[in-house]
Structure 1
Amino acid sequence: MTKPSPSRFDAIVIGAGFSGLYALHRLRELGVRTLVLEAAEDVGGTWLFNRYPGARCDIESIEYSYSFSDEIQQEWVWTETMPAQPEIEAYLHFVADKLDLRRDIRFNTRVVAMTYDEAAGEWMVQTQSGESLVASFVVAASGILSVPLDPDFPGMETFTGASLFTGHWPKEGFDLSGKRVGVIGTGSTGVQLIPVVAKEAEHLTVFQRSPAYTLPWEVRPFDDGELDELKANYAEIRAAQRQHAVGAARLSAFSVLFDMMAKPPLKAASRQEQLRAIEEGGVMGALSWGDVFFDIEANRMAAKLYGEAVARIVKDPETAASLTPSHPFGCKRPIIDQGYYDTFNRDNVTLVDLRKGPIVEITPTGIRTEQGHHDLDVIIYATGFDAMTGALTRINVHGRDRLSLADFWSSEGPYTYLGIAVAGFPNLFIVQAPGSPSAATNFVAALEQHIEWIGDCIAYLRDNGYRTIEALPDAQHEWIEHTTALVAPTVLVDPSCSSWYNGGNVPGKKRMYMGYTAGIPEYRRRCDEIADAGYTGFKLG
């Protein structure tokens, strides 16, 4: 029997989260015949899988949302200042239905391989079910935090209780009442999860590998009429958002960090000024100094002051000391929290500082560390992500001359041009790749710029008779030199810090700071300048 010819499309988009949905809509508007392939059963991306208790965005809802459609932003009703996971997932369902996107999305379809056909100038895309599809262009909208790190503790399979993973939380939820619960991990996920679990579990044991800096935050329902007033001013809000470095002009974890840089230097502050800062601002006051990001000595001073602020909240001195971070502030993603430190004053919460003795093994009845054994009914793994590159390196991507993307990024580092394209991989666009602003900005604001630039590029190629576009190696190298130079004078590259920003949280991953830190407006200016000049740094064929 003759094997059927593969289905053909102008473009294939991988992923149906925030980026993939907008990519489909934008390309459709341009008349590009597009198909989206999504491994999950529905839209949502990261916000579909991360249903753990307490999951929430750290950008205000009216800015962590699409700006391309005034109709959508006027119709959708946010209920809180910073949205929780269920509301964000519901929002993406609303958008998919409003724009009739589902008819061009294939769910439960995992991409396992992509091979570039040089002779035809096309991509052959293979799915887990064995189907082959062909497209002139591929837009990888596979997410920067879509691949959880699989924990690898000895004895995990022997545990007789329930094992839960924050990145794949059960859709139906899980009843933790009356349970002895252990949580491994105190990154952003753990900090959000722990206060919620503590209120439900009989006893919570937190296994902390690396203490986090957190920014206490008030999240509240909108007051009557407040959202209507904001919607009436959406044009001004969006204009301010586009001009802000992090794409969030209102309060967010990122905008607060940028504001800190305008403060007076810590090294010039008197002891009385330092104490006044934590008396008035708590842990936020400990960090709000202008030299903390650029001077490692000032950063260490801020860390010590932060510990003093924590000790004013956490009653047990040993626990407070264990909760004080030892890595530089700012080298990891900032975390917002709601009652995180107060949680450790509860009688049913125990902190295990793994710096004093790591986990030895998971046993049938709990977790054994070098400090002792802890009996548990449930273990929750909040162990982080293989960020930025993880989704694409798990697909067998081969470009020109059979170059493997995973091998290239593993050996050379996560190099890209503009955080959008990789030399040797023609007609492959990556949304928010390493070298883009994504990691240190409002993700939605950054992705909208990406999708619009990619759409305009494909339209330019079509209108001018080009079939292919490929990043040039020299331009790629210059771009990475530029992004690296931006962070060189900051604590972001301090060798003592291992985070998903630099890949240091993944064993064997090439370390390199993966974000673009000059801000979205400057990034947009550079991308537009390159496009206006006929796509300098690219080879068009």
Structure 2
Amino acid sequence: MSTGKLNAQSKQELDVLVVGAGFSGVYQLYKLRKAGFIVKVFEAGKRLGGTWYWNCYPGARVDSDFQVYQYSLEELWRDWNWTERFPGRQELMQYFEYVDDKLDLSRDVSFDTRVVSANFDTRTNRWVVSTHNGRTVRPRFLILCTGFASKPLFPDYKGLDTFQGVMHHTGLWPEHGVDLSHKRVGVIGTGASGVQVIQEAGPVASHLTVFQRTPNLAVPMCQYKLDVATQTKMKAELYPDIFRRREQTFSGHEFTRIPKNVFDATPEERCLAFENLWASGGLRFSGANYQDTTLDLRANEEVYRFWRGKVLARLRDPEMQRKLAPEVAPHPFGVKRVSLEQQYYEVYNRPNVTLVDVNENAIVEVTPKGVKTADGAEHELDVLVLATGFDAVTGSIIQIDIRSVDGEPIKEKWRRGLSTYLGMMTAGYPNMFFPYGPHGPTALCNGPTCAELQGDWIVDCIAHMRAKGKTRIEPTRAAEDAWVARVHEIYSTRLYSHAKSWYTGANVLGKRVETLNFTGGLPLYMSICRERAHNSYAGFVLSGWDSGAARKAQL
């Protein structure tokens, strides 16, 4: 191909550029292409999968039940069967390969392509988007499907770069894997990925040392194998209802909270309800509990007492009991992301496992041989696992140099305080959407549910603009301010502020602490979004004129 043709191709004017090929990006590609738009996807990884491409650490698996953690498109679920209630990373990657084959997606995806900058050209009402490998495209619309957990957060420990063993962050784990068998393994962090790695490492490592800041209030996964016959029956009788039900519940699952307050139930009723939710497994003990568990501290303490009793019964060592299930809750139950576990607490009964509470015995430095703590001990390691989380929700967006119409980086705008409208756009950055991102139901919602509902809203919006011949949309400052106020007002009625959490950015040094999510539940969120669209996209300014697009839309 000639240089001229290469240059022409590199400056291709697309209708839409989607950044990221996880659940959200793949859905956007499918729906936009079906609606007749010219759309491409830029993906930094080598395959479809988004977070499941990058998070390939030992034990990685989803925390939503299989029936809701998939696309609701019948052409996909009709011929696909899962093997486990909570699929693991490998099976999820196989699912994306299946989706790709069914929908012929990869022909419109550029892999190994990381977006590094984006500027809006006010003369043409197009984005100018550049990649790390020198490619430039000029899409009318830019949709950032970068996920809420794609910017790994590394600890600022002295000597971290001196460690001579094998060291990886769980979010950047090598796909070929790391053998933990008969190794001295250290895990820093006990969030979701930490719990999963610890469960895998404990039984096979020669010694496992866990460095914990906050005990994880994990609940039983209750994993089990699936058969084809059961799923065939579910598809025939339940699947359509399950997918419709997802958007009717607070968190986009098929279950919702008990419509009653904790202390309005008798002690006997409450006990039986807790037991039933616990035995059901998954996120139900958190997400299907009484309606006031994240609203009223006294009610929350009742839930924690039940949780603690269950965990204490699984731990033999009083010191482990004190560190893992303290008498006073480290934070209200359910206001941090609830992790699912299979044998997490039993791991701490093993003689080859050490638990270091870094609040009592801080990490002083990482040495070539391992980790040194304040008591002077050096924990020698062969493998160091950094399960230290992410600069979540906003981090994946602000790591791209995205400039407003006035040239302001989005990182600087949001440094003064996160501001969005409907959790999908932000003033000063026209034609740019970010589903499953800041001020959406994001961290509190089942991923595929959110991807489809927000995705449909965005596609409908762009189609509406095409029909009207409009080339530019952005929220007004007043609408944005009103949305931010509403997000904060709802958040203030919940117990989330009682925890230091990535829900609020409190895990990132120097990051403004504020709610990053809409905490009012999915039904309320979608009703607001749909009302705004129905009311001629209230709060947005639609401008520009493309008579050709309008005529085409009318044909």
Could you say which residue in structure 1 is the equivalent of 2:534? 532
Matching of residue 518 in structure 1 with residue 520 in structure 2: yes
Alignment TM-score, normalising by the size of structure 2: 0.90
Could you say which residue in structure 1 is the equivalent of 2:203? 199
Measured against aligned partners, the alpha-carbon deviations of 1:472-513 in whole angstroms (never above 9, x if no partner) come to 11111111111221121221122xx21111111111111111
1:487 paired residue among 491, 498, 503:
491
Shift of 1:524: 1.7
2:53 paired residue among 37, 48, 56:
48
Aligned pairs for 1:360-375 within 5 A: 360-371=364-375, 372-375=377-380
Q: Which moved more, 1:183-192 or 1:221-230?
A: 221-230
Aligned pairs for 1:279-290 within 5 A: none
Which amino acid in 2 is paired with 1:502? Answer: T
Q: 2:285 & 2:463 partners in 1: Cα distance? A: 50
1:11 paired residue among 16, 21, 26:
16
Shift of 1:292: 3.4
Shift of 1:519: 2.2
Which amino acid in 1 is paired with 2:206? Answer: E
Could you say which residue in structure 1 is the equivalent of 2:468? 464
Seen in structure 2, the aligned counterparts of structure 1 residues 286 and 18 have a Cα distance that, compared at 3 Å, is closer
Q: 1:242 & 1:183 partners in 2: Cα distance? A: 37
Flag structure 1 segments of 5+ consecutive residues without an equivalent.
Answer: none
Q: 1:362 & 1:196 partners in 2: Cα distance? A: 23
Q: 2:387 & 2:530 partners in 1: Cα distance? A: 39
1:500 paired residue among 494, 499, 502:
502
Paired residue secondary structure (2:15): strand
Could you say which residue in structure 2 is the equivalent of 1:21? 26
Could you say which residue in structure 2 is the equivalent of 1:409? 414
Paired residue secondary structure (1:417): coil
Flag structure 2 segments of 5+ consecutive residues without an equivalent.
Answer: 544-555
Q: 2:518 & 2:275 partners in 1: Cα distance? A: 35
Seen in structure 2, the aligned counterparts of structure 1 residues 148 and 227 have a Cα distance that, compared at 3 Å, is same
Q: 2:79 & 2:275 partners in 1: Cα distance? A: 43
Could you say which residue in structure 1 is the equivalent of 2:547? none
Paired residue secondary structure (2:463): helix
Seen in structure 2, the aligned counterparts of structure 1 residues 329 and 472 have a Cα distance that, compared at 3 Å, is same
Q: 1:61 & 1:280 partners in 2: Cα distance? A: 20
Measured against aligned partners, the alpha-carbon deviations of 1:395-431 in whole angstroms (never above 9, x if no partner) come to 00001111221101111x2211001000000000111
Q: Contact 2:262 / 2:299 at 8 angstroms: preserved in 1?
A: no
Aligned residues: 528
Q: 1:289 & 1:474 partners in 2: Cα distance? A: 36
Q: 1:114 & 1:286 partners in 2: Cα distance? A: 43
Could you say which residue in structure 1 is the equivalent of 2:173? 169
Shift of 1:109: 0.8
1:103 paired residue among 91, 107, 125:
107
Seen in structure 2, the aligned counterparts of structure 1 residues 457 and 280 have a Cα distance that, compared at 3 Å, is closer
Q: 1:458 & 1:482 partners in 2: Cα distance? A: 25
Could you say which residue in structure 2 is the equivalent of 1:214? 218
Seen in structure 2, the aligned counterparts of structure 1 residues 134 and 322 have a Cα distance that, compared at 3 Å, is same
Paired residue secondary structure (1:9): coil
Measured against aligned partners, the alpha-carbon deviations of 1:315-373 in whole angstroms (never above 9, x if no partner) come to 11111111125122222111111111111111211111111121100111111111322
Q: Which moved more, 1:320-329 or 1:70-79?
A: 320-329
Could you say which residue in structure 1 is the equivalent of 2:39? 34
Paired residue secondary structure (2:524): helix
Q: 1:213 & 1:535 partners in 2: Cα distance? A: 42
Matching of residue 134 in structure 1 with residue 134 in structure 2: no
Aligned pairs for 1:317-336 within 5 A: 317-324=318-325, 325-336=329-340
Could you say which residue in structure 2 is the equivalent of 1:230? 234
Q: 1:299 & 1:155 partners in 2: Cα distance? A: 41
Q: 2:410 & 2:141 partners in 1: Cα distance? A: 16
Which amino acid in 2 is paired with 1:30? Answer: A
1:509 paired residue among 500, 508, 511:
511
CA RMSD of aligned residues (A): 2.4
Paired residue secondary structure (1:397): strand
Shift of 1:441: 1.1
Shift of 1:264: 2.5
Measured against aligned partners, the alpha-carbon deviations of 1:168-213 in whole angstroms (never above 9, x if no partner) come to 1111111111101010100111112211111221111111011111
Seen in structure 2, the aligned counterparts of structure 1 residues 273 and 91 have a Cα distance that, compared at 3 Å, is closer
Shift of 1:239: 2.2
2:457 paired residue among 453, 457, 460:
453
Shift of 1:390: 0.8
Could you say which residue in structure 2 is the equivalent of 1:92? 96
Could you say which residue in structure 2 is the equivalent of 1:388? 393
Could you say which residue in structure 1 is the equivalent of 2:76? 72
Seen in structure 2, the aligned counterparts of structure 1 residues 100 and 300 have a Cα distance that, compared at 3 Å, is same
Matching of residue 433 in structure 1 with residue 431 in structure 2: no
Shift of 1:304: 5.3
Which amino acid in 1 is paired with 2:260? Answer: A
Q: Which moved more, 1:223-232 or 1:283-292?
A: 283-292
Q: 1:345 & 1:493 partners in 2: Cα distance? A: 33
Which amino acid in 2 is paired with 1:523? Answer: Y
Q: Contact 2:427 / 2:474 at 8 angstroms: preserved in 1?
A: yes
Could you say which residue in structure 2 is the equivalent of 1:345? 349
Q: 1:277 & 1:240 partners in 2: Cα distance? A: 22
Seen in structure 2, the aligned counterparts of structure 1 residues 298 and 245 have a Cα distance that, compared at 3 Å, is closer
Q: Contact 1:158 / 1:363 at 8 angstroms: preserved in 2?
A: yes
Alignment TM-score, normalising by the size of structure 1: 0.92
Seen in structure 2, the aligned counterparts of structure 1 residues 56 and 139 have a Cα distance that, compared at 3 Å, is same
Q: 1:274 & 1:479 partners in 2: Cα distance? A: 37
Paired residue secondary structure (2:140): strand
Q: Which moved more, 1:484-493 or 1:100-109?
A: 484-493
Seen in structure 2, the aligned counterparts of structure 1 residues 203 and 29 have a Cα distance that, compared at 3 Å, is same
Could you say which residue in structure 1 is the equivalent of 2:553? none
